[in-house]
Amino acid sequence: MTTVLLMGPPGAGKGTHAGHLAAHLGVPVISTGDLFRRNIADGTELGKTAQGYLDAGEYVPDEVTNAMVRDRLADAEARPGFVLDGYPRTLDQARVLDEILGAQGRSLDAALVLQVEAETLVDRLLRRAEIEHRSDDTEEVIRRRFEVYHEQTAPLIHFYSGRGIHHEVDASDDIDTVRTRVWQVAVQLKPAA
Ligand SMILES: Nc1ncnc2c1ncn2[C@@H]1O[C@H](COP(=O)(O)OP(=O)(O)O)[C@@H](O)[C@H]1O
Ligand SMILES: [Mg+2]
């Protein structure tokens, strides 16, 4: 079983590499951003709650996000492990995640932080805006998302480094190069059976 999370600023490539890594490990990706977007597209109550926050570049309240992730982690699908993309993003979420996993008799193996300099991130997000038309990929909202990341999520790096499960990955190069780096970290976690 491998339980990993990917952290990093908006545009760092969390979604891309969470997908690759999960496929390698044979476990599901749990992406809070994707779950919110799917709920918005489906017009669910959860989606209605989340929409305003996403459009403003703010975080959805912890109790809403934590409840959604709690459900996902209880699924049979997540029993062999998981790759978390975009969760936890606050200290409260990190503590709740510990609680959920502890109650299941497991814990987090690794927190991977994807590192990319700010200029590259803005370029990537503006390019993605042209392709995906995400409502939160406008210049103004992107700026706010960076602020929120630095205020609320960057402190989590200390939370996980204090526990010795934090790994930095240089994510500024092309996708294949970064994928190899991510995989090198994952391989160290679990020696081949
Ligand atoms: N763990 C979370 N807590 C609160 N809000 C979240 C969380 N994950 C995603 N969101 C909401 O969804 C938006 C988009 O998330 P995501 O797709 O993961 O962005 P990115 O991958 O570009 O960082 C966030 O700006 C936020 O509004
Ligand atoms: Mg994403």
pLDDT tens-place values along the chain, 193 residues long: 899 999 999 999 999 999 999 999 999 999 999 999 999 999 999 999 999 999 999 999 999 999 999 999 999 999 999 999 999 999 999 999 999 999 999 999 999 999 999 999 999 999 999 999 888 999 999 999 999 999 999 999 999 999 999 999 999 999 999 999 999 999 888 654 4
Residues classed as catalytic: 14, 89, 128, 134, 145
The phi and psi torsions of 43 (rounded to 5 degrees) equal: 70, 30
CA of 191 to the centre of ligand 1 (A): 32
Q: pTM of this prediction?
A: 0.93
CA of 193 to the centre of ligand 2 (A): 31
Q: Which residue has the tokens 């990341």?
A: 149
Number of C-beta neighbours around residue 15 at 10 A:
16
Measure Cα distances from 51 to 48, 107, 138 in Å.
6, 31, 15
What kind and span of H or E run contains 123? helix 118-132
d(CA 29, CA 31): 6
CA torsion 56→13→31→4, rounded to 10°? -130
Measure Cα distances from 107 to 19, 60, 99, 116 in Å.
21, 24, 9, 27
**Ligand number nearest to the C-alpha of 50:** 1
Nearest residue to 7 via CA among 127, 169, 178, 163:
169
- Residue with the smallest CA separation from ligand 1 atom 27 is 54
CA of 162 to the centre of ligand 2 (A): 25
Q: What's the pLDDT at 193? A: 44
Q: Which residue has the tokens 């990319």?
A: 116
- Residue with the smallest CA separation from ligand 1 atom 21 is 10
* Ion ligand 2: protein residues whose beta carbon lies under 5 Å: 14-15, 33
- Residue with the smallest CA separation from ligand 1 atom 16 is 33
Strands laid side by side in the 166-170 sheet: 29-31, 81-85, 2-7, 110-115, 166-170
Please check whether residue 73 is in contact with residue 30, taking contact to mean a CB–CB distance below 8 angstroms: yes
Q: What's the pLDDT at 190? A: 62
Residues at CB less than 6 angstroms from ligand 1: 10-11, 14-15, 32-33, 36, 53-54, 57-60, 65, 86-89, 93, 136, 145
Number of C-beta neighbours around residue 148 at 10 A:
17
